[in-house]
């Protein structure tokens, strides 16, 4: 039997969650959080991420976009975007989300946005009431649109806001994986791609 069918079958028989292919998107100034993310959660997924040095930054934008699409995201099930202080300004992260939301072999990728401790605002109004809308100006328009539509999932770095539910990464990845099918009609990939960093 082919390995691609054997792994999910064994997972069902042994009642072990299936590992999905995950691409972690982040701004280089958040490398320490990216490393911690792997320490916390890498046992729950198969990494398809770009490592330092995988893509030569001097290459043309079109070549980099094609490389991201064809070699890193084409068979990725879920994309996790780590949002820190300046993430929303970075063009490569917008390109990665755009690639994830395009129809491809195996369908679209699920989308998870994770707020890091360096994010510039808190999700609370002056009365201490939770209000996600404060976050949206510091997302890429593509991320904001898919969060508002209900396709993307929003998570917070573990322990960042103790009053909010704790992160259950296995559940979050599985949920994002399932939403590729159940919430497919909510995908909004209509925003123009960033041409430059902001």
DSSP state letters, 26-50: --GGGHHHHHHHHHHHGGGEEE-PP
pTM, entire model: 0.85
Q: Three-state DSSP class for 2? A: coil
Give the C-alpha separation, 190 to 192, whole Å: 6
| DSSP character at residue 143 | H
Indicate whether 16 belongs to any domain. no
Domain membership of residue 94 (yes or no) is yes
What tokens appear for 127 in the block? 């009365």
Task: Return the bridge partners of 82, or none.
Answer: 114
Q: Domain total for the chain?
A: 1
Residue 194: inside a domain: no
State the distance between the two ends of the chain, measured CA to CA, in whole angstroms: 49
Does the pLDDT value for residue 156 go beyond 90? yes
* 107 domain residue, yes or no: yes
> For residues 92 and 55, what is the distance between their CA atoms, to the nearest angstrom?
11
Q: With respect to residue 11, please indicate whether it lies within any of the assigned structural domains.
A: no
Residue 66 is assigned to a structural domain of this protein: yes
pLDDT reading at 182 higher than 90:
yes
8-12, 68-72, 162-166: lowest mean pLDDT where?
A: 8-12
Domain that holds residue 131: 21-186
Per-residue DSSP letter, 124: B
**196 in a structural domain:** no
Q: Residue 102 domain-assigned?
A: yes
Q: In 3-state terms, the chain is what percent helix, strand and coil (to 5)?
A: 45, 15, 40
> Phi, psi at residue 10, to the nearest 5°?
-65, -40
CATH of the domain at 163: 3.40.50
CA 102/CA 93 separation, integer angstroms: 15
Arithmetic mean of pLDDT, 67-73: 61
Helix (H, G, I), strand (E, B) or coil at 4: helix
Contact 186, 151 (CB under 8 A): yes
Predicted local distance difference test score (pLDDT) of residue 1: 47
What is 47-85 written as a DSSP string?
A: E-PPPTTSS-TTS-HHHHHHHIIIIIITT-SEEEEEE-S
Q: Stretch 165-189: mean pLDDT, rounded?
A: 95
């Amino acid at each position: 039997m082919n390995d691609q069918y054997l792994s999910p079958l064994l997972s069902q028989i042994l009642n072990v969650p299936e590992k999905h292919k995950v691409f972690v998107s982040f701004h280089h100034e958040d490398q320490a959080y990216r490393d911690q993310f792997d320490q916390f959660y890498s046992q729950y997924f198969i990494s398809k991420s770009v490592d330092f040095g995988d893509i030569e930054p001097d290459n043309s934008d079109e070549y980099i976009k094609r490389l991201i699409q064809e070699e890193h995201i084409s068979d990725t099930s879920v994309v996790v975007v780590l949002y820190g202080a300046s993430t929303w300004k970075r063009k490569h992260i917008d390109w990665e989300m755009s690639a994830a939301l395009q129809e491809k072999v195996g369908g679209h990728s699920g989308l998870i946005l994770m707020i890091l401790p360096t994010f510039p605002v808190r999700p609370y109004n002056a009365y201490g009431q939770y209000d996600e809308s404060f976050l949206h100006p510091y997302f890429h328009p593509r991320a904001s649109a898919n969060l508002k539509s209900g396709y993307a999932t929003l998570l917070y770095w573990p322990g960042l806001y103790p009053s909010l539910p704790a992160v259950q990464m296995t559940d979050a990845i599985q949920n994002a994986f399932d939403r590729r099918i159940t919430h497919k009609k909510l995908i909004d990939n209509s925003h123009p791609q960033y041409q430059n960093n902001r």
